[in-house]
Amino acid sequence: MMRYISGQILLGDEFVTGHIGIEDGIIKEIGDGDSPAPPLHQGIVLPSFINGHTHCADGAAPIPLDIGLEEAVAPPHGLKHRFLGGCSEDSLRSSMTSFMEESARHGSSAFVDFREGGLLGVKTLQGLPLIQRRVVLGRPVSPRYDHQEVDSLLDACEGLGLSCISDMDAGYLDSLADHVHRRGKILALHASENRREDIELVMSLEPDFLVHMVEASDDDLRRCADQGLPVVICPRSNLFFGKVTPVRRMRECGVETALGTDNAMVCNPDMRTEGEFLLRLLRSQNDDAAGLLDTCVTRIRKILNAESGLPIKLGKEADLVVFPGDGIAPLADLFLRPKGSPVTVRGAVPNRRDLGCRSKKY
């Protein structure tokens, strides 16, 4: 039986008034104007959000409101790591599940998690019910390169999501990067979050994407653009720690950006709110909203080399979110004056937990 949703539909990079017909979880019809039958849902229709950078287990951490960045997150003794180290497996599962439930309520169908805690941390997240798809990027716990440990991690997840180069020995980083590349998995790392770091060393690791880059120079950003190295930005989390994401400079230097919410202990996993904050930040830097939807919705799928849900086209599995809106100004209704909770419209949940993503190098 065909079910319809209608309204302002994001097709490509613009909203079009129309309807979508879905049968057996697959998009079977895309048309202009009103739907042939009363729609199940109506409003602003776009592919569901994929949260480009999270740490999903630390939402219950008792964080002081005046804490600094290194005190909060620096390994191995930052507040986050002490909190996670003291959690039981049941507590970790509960925290991760709460994150996914809240994330799903806000219109996200998937997230990219930099999973601390070695193989146990990865397996704990991978073993949870399929509330959301997830791209899990693990992190070794050994202070020295351990081939067996890294191999076991990569068997259980989609790649490695590392801390910044300032936290690790260069030889250790090289060994990890080489191992990931041999396996054809994803390599990502934090970069220039608290202080500027050596972009040449970062580049030598051949990552698939970076996170933050708030302290990067223009030359660093241009190097990223020249190499086609995208950056996932987390403006709300950055500002909590006194860092202003230089989104205008990133744009001017040609850097491709995606959006994430970062640590659950300082930001709830609401990508619409993250997009609103990004819009206001752009205006504060005398920039416009061009490319906003690309950063919020499209770019992360390209970074992950995944085929899930974008573009909205015939034959694709439905993976959509519908936000309330009157259709007059969908961007304003979405990011400035939300009128209610979103509704997700999805096909059959696949047996796999990931998005079928892979490194672009393989």
Tens of pLDDT, residue by residue over 249-275, are 999 999 999 999 999 999 999 999 999
Q: How many domains does the chain have?
A: 2
Q: What is the dihedral of CA 330, 332, 337, 342, to 10 degrees?
A: 30
14 and 114, same domain (yes or no):
no
Quote the percentage of the chain above a pLDDT of 90. 74
> What is the reported pLDDT for 349?
53
253 and 178, same domain (yes or no):
yes
97 and 131, same domain (yes or no):
yes
Quote the percentage of the chain above a pLDDT of 70. 95
pLDDT at 309 over 60: no
In a domain, 203, yes or no: yes
In a domain, 205, yes or no: yes
CATH number assigned to the domain comprising residue 215: 3.20.20.140
pLDDT at 343 over 70: yes
- Please report which confidence band the pLDDT of residue 84 belongs to, taking 50, 70 and 90 as the band edges: confident
171 and 66, same domain (yes or no):
yes
Length of the chain: 362
Which pLDDT tens digit goes with each residue over 36-69? 999 999 999 999 999 999 999 988 888 888 888 8
List own/partner pairs for 285-292 with CB under 8 A and 24 or more apart: 285/246, 285/247, 285/248, 286/248, 287/247, 287/248, 287/251, 289/331, 291/251, 292/331, 292/335
In a domain, 174, yes or no: yes
193 and 316, same domain (yes or no):
no
Contact criterion met (CB below 8 Å) for 361 and 206: yes
Which pLDDT tens digit goes with each residue over 173-203? 999 999 999 999 999 999 999 999 999 999 9
pTM of structure? 0.94
> How many angstroms separate the CA atoms of 286 and 32, rounded?
36
111 and 19, same domain (yes or no):
no
234 and 340, same domain (yes or no):
no
> What is the reported pLDDT for 86?
84
217 and 152, same domain (yes or no):
yes
> What is the reported pLDDT for 74?
81
In a domain, 317, yes or no: yes
162 and 256, same domain (yes or no):
yes
Q: Domain limits at 210?
A: 49-303
pLDDT at 111 over 70: yes
> What is the reported pLDDT for 360?
66
333 and 217, same domain (yes or no):
no
153 and 112, same domain (yes or no):
yes
37 and 85, same domain (yes or no):
no
In a domain, 40, yes or no: yes
List own/partner pairs for 330-339 with CB under 8 A and 24 or more apart: 330/8, 330/15, 330/44, 331/15, 331/289, 331/292, 331/293, 333/44, 334/44, 334/272, 334/275, 335/272, 335/275, 335/276, 335/279, 335/292, 336/276, 336/279, 338/272
